Amino acid sequence: MKRAGEKELPSGDRFLAGLLMMAAFLVNPSALLRGAQGMLFWFYAYKSGKKNKLWITLSVMGAIVLFNLLVPYGKVLARLGAFPITLGALLGGLHKALTLEGLILLSKASIRADLCLPGFFGSLLSESFRIFERISRRKALITRRHFIEGIDQLLLELSEEQDLRKAQREEGAGAGPPRTLTGMLRLAGAIGLIWGLSLLGLRFRGLL
Asked whether residue 48 falls in the same domain as residue 146, the answer is no
pLDDT tops 90 at residue 102: yes
Tens-digit pLDDT profile for residues 140-191: 666 667 677 777 776 777 676 666 666 655 555 455 667 788 888 989 999 9
Asked whether residue 2 falls in the same domain as residue 78, the answer is yes
The values of phi and psi at residue 145, to 5°, are: -75, -25
Asked whether residue 90 falls in the same domain as residue 55, the answer is yes
**Residue 93: what residue type?**
G
Domain that includes residue 18, residue range: 1-113+180-208
Asked whether residue 55 falls in the same domain as residue 153, the answer is no
Asked whether residue 94 falls in the same domain as residue 160, the answer is no
Asked whether residue 98 falls in the same domain as residue 80, the answer is yes
Closest CA to 41 of 197, 200, 202, 208: 197
- For residues 2 and 46, give the distance between their C-alpha atoms in angstroms, rounded to a whole number: 10
Q: Give, for 181, the enclosing helix (H) or strand (E).
A: helix 181-203
**CA 37 to centroid of chain Cα atoms:** 12
Q: For all residues of the chain together, what is the average pLDDT?
A: 81
The values of phi and psi at residue 81, to 5°, are: 70, -125
How many independent structural domains does the chain possess?
Answer: 2
